[in-house]
Amino acid sequence: MGWFSRSSAEQSPAATRQDRQKCWESRDQYFECLDGVGVLTAGEEGTACTKSKFQYEKSCAKSWIDYFNKRRVLAEKQKDMLAQSQLQTQEVKRKL
């Protein structure tokens, strides 16, 4: 994979539709593996998902990986918050 490796001084071309698809698929596989071992924050899984992580890092640019990893944590927090707020509204309704 050439477009994301930034060893050369040249600006790499933007990802094509195929590149993006490949990256998203590898990301989904890696995150699935993290879910399997019960890890939320990428990098805390130890050696559990080495294979899918390798593929993920091969298919996606560093900036994208950072972004996806951060968003995974944020999305989880959001899910918690949404669930909490739903619980609260239900409680309020019950009291009324």
| Member of 51, 58, 62, 79 binding another protein (CB under 8 A) | 62
The answer to whether 52 and 29 are in contact (CB under 8 A) is: yes
Q: Which residue, 61, 57, 55, is CA-closest to 12?
A: 61
Does the footprint of another protein cover residue 48 (CB under 8 A)?
no
Total residues in contact with another protein, by rule CB under 8 A: 19
| Member of 2, 11, 38, 94 binding another protein (CB under 8 A) | 11
Does the footprint of another protein cover residue 31 (CB under 8 A)?
no
Q: Which residues contact 15 (CB under 8 A, 6 or more apart)?
A: 3, 4, 23, 61
The answer to whether 60 and 4 are in contact (CB under 8 A) is: yes
Residue tagged 């409680």 (tokens): 91
**Least Å from the CB of residue 64 to another protein:** 4
Q: Which residues bind another protein (CB under 8 A)?
A: 4, 6, 9-11, 13-17, 20, 23-24, 61-64, 67-68
